[in-house]
Structure 1
């Protein structure tokens, strides 16, 4: 993807059970309560648990600006009309990098593989995308299962700082067109 303007996902994608859509400011308080304050969720992310809803509001405002600038495309996951998580789609030269998070009550219910598969399938159908990739903390076995269910394959392990700035092993998985 040499021209970022070529890559522009739709603002809404529907699956059998989910709506994947562009974030709204009204999502901030709901997502804050759903997962942004949960240390069990945050320990596998690049951020610390939020302590104030204003932090979550700032994050959602940032996500909206990223979308408007076509820098990245953070999708909110709606299940039964409630926001429960997010998937970030980041365009990088000829590939897309994904990141994802979901509230703990929805772990192990097949929701994240459904959401992620829909976005991966859409991305790989674009002429300008040759590869999708995801990296995650190596000890996050739940994410590894999600990623493998989506058809991505292991490439390598590398060190990357966790949400406390400590170097941790991360695994890179990818899928090519």
Structure 2
């Protein structure tokens, strides 16, 4: 985590405008997020309800079946991107989601190391693509060819869309100082140096 306290405090239910209440109402459950309180990311972003509404549209594409990456492979890209962006909040949320989508605890730990940590060639291509996008905002010809060996062209596009979305999410979380939700523990590898 880059910040130990929020720069923008999550809104409390008592202080919401009607527009904020409307956008937050459906976010307490459903989809890949278990039912419960509205997450800090959404309560923070609700300070800009129109931006949150637009954000949710694209985010719902990334996390839906419209994204042609299978959920496990999508979570590989999301987790690697979150780790590279040093986003403790993103990493913490998606470790739980990744486990539900078929990643093992050992694979989650291996994601911190990178594409040469004993992955299958298909998984290594996903991780290498996330690494290259993070470092250079570009997937090299060799990595693009590797992706197309294991994934369709649309799936390769979805790798870029997914890494781009979660780079943006990580920027917001890190810059706004969004803190972990109740009951979560920060991975020690993502503590502020």
TM-score of the pair, normalised by structure 1: 0.29
Q: Greater strand share, 1 or 2? A: 1
TM-score of the pair, normalised by structure 2: 0.27
Q: Greater helix share, 1 or 2? A: 2
